[in-house]
Structure formats: structure tokens, C-alpha cells
Amino acid sequence: MPTRLPLVVRRCHSCPSARFRAGGEFRVNANHKLIDAWLLALCAGCGETTKLSVLERVTVRSVRPELLDRLHHNDPGLAAQVLQDPIVRRRNRVALDWDGAWRLDTGRSKDGDGLPDVLDVVVRFAAPIPVRPVRLIAEGCGLSRAAVERLDTEGKVVSAVRLNARLSDEFTFTLKR
């Protein structure tokens, strides 16, 4: 489950920081029939503002009215969509830092002692957040990542996906203790 928007990885021109926090605020500027829109982000180090281009010199009539309303009302859901859009990230030459931007909701206790001998799990994402399955299994089962990797090499973690690859789609695994 997402807990906050991811940090934007971009070099700050005022300080040595390379992380920006997007708060979900947009700036919209219209010049006659053309419109520009930016997502504003603040430097994590000095608070300097940077603009991430969302719309560039687009005719106003070609923009859907509901999108314009969301831009004018600083919709946080739209900010999450904009940050996850690969075209916007490529145009602005930024990457995303997802550390601390999500949490795992298992409905179980944190210690791994109460696990059954065989555990079949289906992992569903509330938002498309790229995470390594090893980290999810470790946090969800109360194990260390090294212990999960050891169980994987012993054949006690079975999954159709690579456990060290980043995923943001649903996957399943079986853990044998």
C-alpha cells in the first residue's frame, strides 16, 4: 500500500541534495490558446522549488475538461499518476525513489515464528509500486532478506517470478518451512 508519493531523483541547483518531494501541487499557465502545466516539487535539502513539465504548449481545446479541473484543484491522485507516467519522467529526466513510500499490510504479526509449515501467498499491489519480492517476503514473514534468499536457494520458496527482480504486478509464491 502506498504511504506517500515517491521522491523525485534530480540534482538540485542550489544544494548538493538529489531528492525532491512532490506535494501534489500544480502550476497552470495559459497563453492565448496554448496551455502549460507543471507539477511542483520541493528540494529535500534546501526547499528550492523545481517544476516537472506535465503539459507543454498544448492547445486548450485538446485537454480534457476533467483533467483541467484536476490540475486546478491540485488533485493528489493526479500527482501520483503523473509521477508514474514514463513519458513525463523521460521528458523531465527524473527517476523515482520508492524507499519509505509503501508499507506491507499482511494482517499478521511481525515475527516469523507463527508461520505454518507451508504458506501459499498471493501478492496484490494497491498501486503500481516497483518492489523486489525478496523484500516483500522478508517483511511479510518477519524474516531477513538473507534468510529468504537462503530459503530460495534451498528450494523452499517457490514462485513463477524471479525474486530479485523489481515487480509491480500481482504474483504468487509458496513458502515451505
pLDDT one-digit tens code per residue, 120-142: 888 887 777 888 888 888 887 78
pLDDT tens for 71-90 read 999 998 899 899 989 999 99
The rounded distance, in Å, linking the Cα atoms of 92 and 86 is 10
- List, in sequence order, every beta strand (DSSP E) within the chain: 7-9, 19-31, 34-43, 49-59, 95-97, 118-123, 157-159, 171-176
Q: What is the pTM of this model?
A: 0.73
